[in-house]
Structure 1
């Protein structure tokens, strides 16, 4: 994940498949089965073959923007630099987007307050700085451009009310928070579009705590109990409302936690799901197959997010090819359905490795397109 929000442990449902339906007779190995073709793969959306998750190391906005736009010439993103401190972290950055809701930093984390203070102002100032840098390095750019914000449920799980409990504990607070976030995202999308008029904006919602919210695994302030699981229909409806803010544009939901609820995210309107590929198991196959066949794009996190020795690009996407064969899908459609990314944000990486990792994503995506078998 991009920042400090905790991933949600636990399986999404027995067998690891949430809301999956039978895939029919198209499976490899079934009697008379052949390779399945996709009915459509986001033909009306604009994606690139590779991109990043969001965070980058260091605190220089111009250097980050230069690195990102230079690495991903056909799918750059608005870089985030959490090393600058509170307000640049994933929760604080999104707090700066909220409309008529404010928060400040306490020893335990971000807590809702009555008025905008220096922490909120700092978050907004850094966002402006990052947008300035992005605008500088995207002059004349036309194509997909990704911006990121924390989704409503991870925000509710990590933003405290005045009593110190998570906003998740109060259904009314969750509704207010989602409404404030939706309006803030509307303004953020409009401002980014104004600065980069040729961009086809892609909105990424980061939801690493979503599974924990669904399964009642978010701890209370005391740490001795957990907050009650939120009803799935409420979770889905809230996500659908927030996703709907990007009317006519694609929304990606990102989670590097285990057991991503693919089916729920599809029903909520996500055009793509971003995940840590190493956390998948064969139990996820049906849910992923349903998603791909329904036109959902996969943002496959195959490049480690912290310094490590990288394999050759073909080796990095070998697991993706294996998954494709297991699902019985046409190899030639891989490039149409998969965007290659790091497994998570790169805030914990060295600057040198971050540049290497982004370049490796591009080469791995090219390998996937050139040699899908």
Structure 2
């Protein structure tokens, strides 16, 4: 077992990324207030074009402009209003973050879409998804790998006391790996790329994040998260929906923990009712830890509690209650080893 300096306090809590509403000032104030030990930069997709996950990251790409068509984001011949809107949303979000983190010192999480989710979402000028063209998928990944460090540097400039965690969102990764991404027409499925290529592209991005003095991590709230592939690619934490875990994944999760990889465990429902008892919310974490057989004391260092997925579609009252439930669930996990002594 590695002796790991996890970049968050014992059994912290945080959000996944998206949050309801259209006011970045209110969203950042809420997140920082509820998640003071590990805040994150909230994303507000309800603002529309450019505030969505793909458009937000599209604004970070270098020499690869995107535009919005009726079917979604598409490669464009030149930057236009859609990218300006995306960059404007992000700039206002960073303004709010800077205002509400004055004198803050500690971990801070930001999120970007990953290269394979971009390839499965962005269309080429022909109308087909970039994933169908290996060269186009490579260009997208290279552009993101070049653009991400500039974004990291901007956040570090605005919040100089923060130790940044960069969450690479890959919700489409399981579908990419199994050849389950639909073509633009919807009549066929796009072939799965070689797993060696998938791993190499992720490794390049994670290495660029680490070279920018940030901690690379990955998030996927779909079933079948390829934990072992993400570990080998260099992710130092993996964020997943713990309520969807299959015991068949235990071996890979155990190997990741043994290698010093942190687990961001989604246990609080991102929509619907929040369980009133924090101890019930974290049952999936206890069950996982019992199965993989590590000491409870390690759980308090390796695990961060989150909602099961983003809160962008949640009602505002639910979103705030979910963050509070994550914080209280983390407190329960932190206190249990003390009671067992």
Q: Report the TM-score when normalising by structure 1.
A: 0.88
Q: Displacement of 1:225 after TM fit?
A: 0.8
CA contact (8 A) 2:274 2:322 kept: no
Which ranges in structure 1 are unaligned for 5 or more consecutive residues? 1-37
Alignment of 1:208 onto 2:187: no
Alignment of 1:93 onto 2:56: yes
Distance in 2, matches of 1:76 and 1:143, equals 9
Equivalent residues in 2 for 1:111-260 (5 A)?
A: 111-246=74-209, 247=211, 248-260=213-225
2:284 — aligned with what?
A: 319
1:46 — aligned with what?
A: 7
Q: Secondary structure at the match of 2:201?
A: helix
2:230 — aligned with what?
A: 265
Question: Which structure carries more helix by proportion?
Answer: 2
Alignment of 1:360 onto 2:325: yes
Q: Displacement of 1:352 after TM fit?
A: 1.0
Q: Displacement of 1:179 after TM fit?
A: 1.2
Distance in 1, matches of 2:107 and 2:2, equals 23
Q: Displacement of 1:230 after TM fit?
A: 0.4
Equivalent residues in 2 for 1:322-337 (5 A)?
A: 322-337=287-302
Q: Displacement of 1:285 after TM fit?
A: 1.0
Q: Displacement of 1:311 after TM fit?
A: 3.2
CA contact (8 A) 2:274 2:321 kept: no
Distance in 1, matches of 2:257 and 2:15, equals 21
Q: How many residues matched? A: 334
Which residue of the other structure, out of 36, 41, 45, is the alignment partner of 1:73?
A: 36
Q: Tell me: higher relative CO, structure 1 or 2? Use CA pairs within 8 A at least 6 residues apart.
A: 1
CA contact (8 A) 2:271 2:314 kept: yes
Alignment of 1:369 onto 2:330: no
Q: Displacement of 1:47 after TM fit?
A: 2.0
Cα deviation 1:81-109 (Å, max 9, x = unaligned): 00000100111111111111111111111
Distance in 2, matches of 1:326 and 1:98, equals 41
Which ranges in structure 2 are unaligned for 5 or more consecutive residues? none
Alignment of 1:281 onto 2:246: yes
Distance in 1, matches of 2:269 and 2:66, equals 33
Distance in 1, matches of 2:183 and 2:286, equals 41
Distance in 2, matches of 1:332 and 1:266, equals 22
Segment of structure 1 superposing worse, 245-254 or 165-174: 245-254
Cα deviation 1:282-334 (Å, max 9, x = unaligned): 11111111111111100000000013142311111122112111111101211
Q: Report the TM-score when normalising by structure 2.
A: 0.96
Distance in 2, matches of 1:157 and 1:184, equals 19
Q: Secondary structure at the match of 1:63?
A: helix
